[in-house]
Chains A and B, each alone.
Chain A
């Protein structure tokens, strides 16, 4: 990897047909992302967060608009191994051990066995699973499975990491720990990260910038910088600055996606 990779999104529109009605998943979305930035994407279900990640990863073709990942279009970026995904589910092959799962992309890329083993060992160590290299996914907890998925996404050192609610299916304690760990790992790379989440606290804790998306049609409605100092550790979660930041994000969210009127009535 030769340095941070910036992303330019220009007038991105993605439409598809769901049954009879056409759905506008994303409408004219434009945004500049500096290389090495950690972006959190927040918004209600159906606002096109996942579609945006899939478009960046070359899994969905834009209906209109342009995406440039370090100057390359998503297909070329994928071919150049610039981009890597982590999904909400770990999506591990159940017949492969943790090590074999982490080696999967390398095997598909045609790396030699010694190179694969060395890289897998390094990243197993990085996510703290060196002892479980030869365990099968069914023998690992949900959190450990998602660590394997993270190691698999990192193992070829991609410049852009696309995380679609990666810890969303885990319990809160595990999720907090993995977030701290993700920041530790990310700080050692220069990767540009797009992280989809439903949690404002998670967004505030992780990101440099929070992008708010709205739905019908999916579009960008707010772009909020997070100025909390780095490195961020678990201690930050109890800090006043952090709580204020989360409160600020919540005000942003309510402005663009107001809660139903009776929701706050009990207090007023």
Chain B
């Protein structure tokens, strides 16, 4: 018990990371099995490479310096991450405004919900028209995708009023600013991270879908062009890279969450 109590947040956090690693074993085995089937099973069935390439073909194409996969990953990451940052900041700040000004929430929140019925993807050509055919319209789509889940979850977290805790802080004469920083922000963190993790995955999807609308670089561009020329191995390389990008962002957020929200075991 003494040992458990002397645990610092950091060691607790490191220990927390170890647990999922142990349960990875079975899942990793399935992954390797699938790879093996694709590598040797698919050619054995006579399926041509332009329909389903083998993992080794995909890998060698991914590493082909002429294809500049890293460059395209970088473009998509830049669009996705900058959109993610802007969208989550916007979502969180609007949630803060909502909590401090109920009438503003009453006026805007329904529209924030209604706006979710607009297929953001369909806006892509319009955004390209407005912002030019660069990184900006793709970042904008990523931001729009991130904005809503962060807004909804942050509003919930900031508004999570426990009457006893409020009574306690009021009995100490806490003002609004103190209430906000000592109670609302920390209690919101787990909710914020739920929103951020949803938003991060959506931001990468948003950037790629934005690139489908006539981009000259990025993973979305690479996927469009490689399928046109039946370079299916390159398509697979781009899709895998996109997945890894999303997973990477998610894992970074998960680690950050375990560090910052140390008092709550994520479910």
Contacts and interface: CB of A to CB of B under 8 A. Distances in A.
Interface stretch (B63-71, B76-84, B100-108, B172-180): B172-180
A108 B169 contact: yes
Contact of B165 (A78, A91, A95): A91
Interface string A58-93: 110000000000000000001100011101010101
Interface in B215-267: 262-264
A233 interface: no
Contacts of A95: 186, 262-263
Contact of B171 (A85, A94, A134, A139): A85
Task: Identify the interface centre among B5, B165, B167, B171: most chain A CB within 10 Å of its CB.
Answer: B171
A89 B171 contact: no
A228 to B, nearest CB: 31
Interface in B1-32: 4-6
A93 to B, nearest CB: 7
Given A93-B183, A95-B186, A132-B5, A108 B178 contact: yes
B263 A136 contact: yes
Interface residues of A, number: 26
B167 A108 contact: no
Contacts of A134: 6
A94 B172 contact: no
B172 A105 contact: yes
Contacts, number: 50
Chain B, interface size category, equals: 20 to 34
A57 B174 CA distance: 14
A109 interface: yes
A54 interface: yes
A91 B182 contact: no
A53 to B, nearest CB: 10
Nearest to B170: A59
A93 B171 contact: no
Contacts of B167: 54, 59, 85, 87
Given A91-B165, A94-B263, A104-B182, A83 B171 contact: yes
A79 B173 contact: yes
Contact of B174 (A59, A93, A108): A108
A179 B165 CA distance: 24
B164 interface: yes
A102 to B, nearest CB: 12
Given A89-B164, A139-B5, A59 B171 contact: yes
A138 B169 CA distance: 20
B168 interface: yes
B182 A108 contact: yes
B165 to A, nearest CB: 5
A135 interface: yes
Contacts of A135: 5
B172 A109 contact: yes
B175 to A, nearest CB: 9
A79 B174 CA distance: 10
A84 B182 contact: no
Contacts of B173: 78-79, 108-109
Interface string A106-139: 0111000000000000000000000010111011
Contacts of A79: 173
Interface of A: 54, 57-59, 78-79, 83-85, 87, 89, 91, 93-95, 104-105, 107-109, 132, 134-136, 138-139
22 contacts: A58-B171, A59-B171, A78-B173, A83-B171, A84-B171, A85-B167, A85-B171, A87-B164, A87-B167, A87-B168, A89-B164, A93-B186, A94-B263, A94-B264, A104-B172, A105-B172, A108-B173, A108-B174, A109-B172, A134-B6, A135-B5, A138-B263
